[in-house]
Chains A and B, each alone.
Chain A
Amino acid sequence: MPESEFDKQVQQDLEGLRLRPSAVVWENVEKELRRKKRRRYIVFFWLLTGLGLLGYTGYLLTQKDKPTLVGSSGTPAGHSGTTVQQPPAQSTQSDIIPSIPSTIKPNSSNSDPADQTTQLNKTTPVIATQSGTSADHEKLNGRKITVSVPVGKNKGKRKNDKTEFPVAKSGNQERTDTQVIKETESKPTDVAEQTSPANPVQDSVKAKTDSAVAVVPPPAETKAPVAKKPSSSKIRWSLDLGIGGSGPISSPFLIGESGNTRFGYDQNASTVAPGSPLVTPPVVNYGPIYLPRSDIKPGPAFRIGVLGEWAISKRSSIVSGLQYQYQSNNIRTGSYRNTALIFNNYASQPVSVRSSYQAGLQKTFTNRFHYLQIPLGFQWQVNKGNKTPILLNAGLSAGYLLTSNSLVYDSLQGGIYYHDKNAFNRFQLSFNTGVAFRFGNNKAFQWSIGPEASMGLRSQVKEEYDKKQYPLYLGIRAGLYLPKKKR
């Protein structure tokens, strides 16, 4: 408070000091305001995108009976109305032929066996039928199966089946669809085993002049403009850990075919390798019996790696490194068959497998994927505070499939699962996003934790082998930053 006349006068004079700022100041203020507004929109957009993706991933991974996960829930057209009870747990030849109830309701359109046979020959030329299936019927043991005959027309890639492979006529008991290389006694295998004031304002050099200063300028005014400190280019290394769940979906970002889209594979039987003898096909008078592909349930997943953060500004950085990721999902299969098979897959490509699993709901099989990934992402600190920074990150990750035991489905012999290493795309590109909270900013050890999601942009399984399966991962990510070196 002013104590004397001098103090009063000084206060009065200095309080009333008015100087006209240069026009550049307002321009910069305006620019800054616009930038902040834009930044708010960007944050809002990323938050919405991230939350949406997290929510969507969570929804997909927690859904049990929805068709969004790749599986049979979306009953394929070829199997419409097919209900299958759990087949017997035997691993004998009878396993190949699924159980059929004593009362089979043929489709009304196929009520006349003669007509039906004709139609079968016309529309599903590659299916070898077996007459006199009473023996098979006897094996049904009263299990309830309603069979619908696949009478759909051949479409798309199946067009050339007719020309490539001769058709076995109905009534012929020639086995023309599968060649038995070796058929040994089936071994029941344990499937489970496999299973503020600190607001930073740029000190950028501005073309400002001391326009308002008319009196002798102080010497400091002639000083060179203060150049903005370059952002630290140091790399901060961190140990990256992630744990969560994974499962494939049939269409990423809800674009493209949905889970219950018709899949040609399910509508037609497999083609026969030319000149190969037949295995007794699981067919009755009314056509082949299909055990549809199992639902794919999410399985555990984890990730470990080393990440480096390159700061590009105070609150943003580029993140990259090297990661190993394990993903898994669970399917239900029937019994294991140690039988080598050679057949043509859906895309008429010859496939040779040593063993297979019959489709069914008996056992749980765990599909495992081991990826090596190089992520490249952008990390942005949402809040300004340094106490608990909230980090929003998004980016892409290039992955290489090291190995997998995953099975693919084929409608051969009423539905089998087999492993073929050629069936999987080795390279994967995925979109990652997440939010992390960083703690211990003023301590030697810093760590971060938060939810994350990633979605594969490329199908895990090649199109010619099975339905498209885009890997989805939802989990919790933790980062442990290596301590800074003291100088």
Chain B
Amino acid sequence: MATEQMEQQKLVRDCLKGKPQAQRQLYELYADTMLGVCYRYTRSMRDAEDVLQEGFVKVFHHLNQYKQEGELGAWIRRIMVNTALNFLKRHRKYQEEMYFTEEYLHPVSQEDPAVRLQAKELADLVRQLPQGYQVIFNLHAVEGFSHVEIGEMLGISDGTSRSQYARARNLLITWLKKYSTDQKKSSYAGK
């Protein structure tokens, strides 16, 4: 573990020196995971890659601000999330969908369905949520931000974030249930 950390520190130092090989190595180390992050926030792979590219440029540009105390992966993930949010704000096609209306608090579904999907399929399902729901769901359910933090990040109240999350969660549960029903039907039909 300590060796791994030392190697990571050396990698960061080399990147700070501007060594192209180290930069490539760092990119290779985190690119796959970070594309997964970007993919969840965007509607297309092209946009996800755009965010990834922009995010990595920022990572290399601001690597000197990384304090070697925390995990590098978490730091990069935070940059990717911020970059993705900025990307959504900048692009009209996302902007038009990203409206957050003050809604009454929707009751959170108490259902607890089993998720029988691959990570990619689940991500695709999340991406089909309305853009506002998608972002808040990702920020809260996956990234672990509190509703207050999400409110600050998106410039909305924490109540709005809460209600949007509840709606997103309910919608996702409905889709998952429907998906599993369809799966069952198709498996029965197959038999």
Contacts and interface: CB of A to CB of B under 8 A. Distances in A.
Contacts of A28: 53
A36 B138 CA distance: 32
A37 B27 CA distance: 18
A214 to B, nearest CB: 7
A80 interface: no
Interface string A1-29: 11011110111011111111110111011
Given A14-B122, A37-B18, A210-B46, A20 B32 contact: yes
B71 to A, nearest CB: 13
Contact of A212 (B35, B58, B115, B173): B35
Interface in B36-73: 36-37, 39-40, 43-46, 48-50, 52-54, 56-58, 60-61
Given A17-B123, A215-B121, A218-B44, A33 B23 contact: yes
Interface string A177-219: 0000000000000000000011101010010111111111110
Contact of A6 (B86, B112, B124): B112
B83 interface: yes
Contacts of A138: none
A226 interface: yes
A40 to B, nearest CB: 11
Contacts of B2: none
A29 B40 contact: no
A382 B112 CA distance: 54
Contacts of B36: 14, 16-19
A19 to B, nearest CB: 4
Contacts of A218: 43-44, 124, 127-128
A212 B144 contact: no
Contact of B61 (A10, A36, A214, A217): A36
A209 B61 CA distance: 26
B46 A208 contact: yes
B91 interface: yes
Interface in B120-174: 120-124, 126-128, 138, 141-142, 144, 172-173
B120 to A, nearest CB: 6
A410 B23 CA distance: 68
Contacts of B24: 26, 30
A32 B118 CA distance: 34
Nearest to B36: A17
B31 A21 contact: yes
A226 B91 contact: yes
Contacts of A9: 114-115
A20 B46 CA distance: 12
Given A14-B122, A199-B61, A220-B43, A21 B141 contact: no
B27 A26 contact: yes
Contact of B35 (A18, A201, A209, A216): A18
A17 B112 contact: no
A223 interface: yes
Q: Most chain-B CB neighbours within 10 Å: which of A6, A210, A214?
A: A6
B56 A29 contact: yes
A132 interface: no
B14 to A, nearest CB: 14
A2 B112 CA distance: 12
B119 A13 contact: yes
B93 interface: yes
A483 interface: no
A385 interface: no
A6 B111 CA distance: 9
Contact of A21 (B49, B57, B91): B49
A124 B117 CA distance: 106
Given A14-B126, A206-B46, A221-B44, A29 B120 contact: no
B56 A11 contact: no
Given A14-B119, A15-B142, A29-B56, 5 more contacts: A16-B119, A25-B49, A198-B86, A199-B61, A201-B53
Counting from the closest, the 8 A-B pairs by CB-CB distance are A17-B36, A210-B45, A220-B43, A201-B54, A18-B32, A221-B44, A19-B35, A17-B119
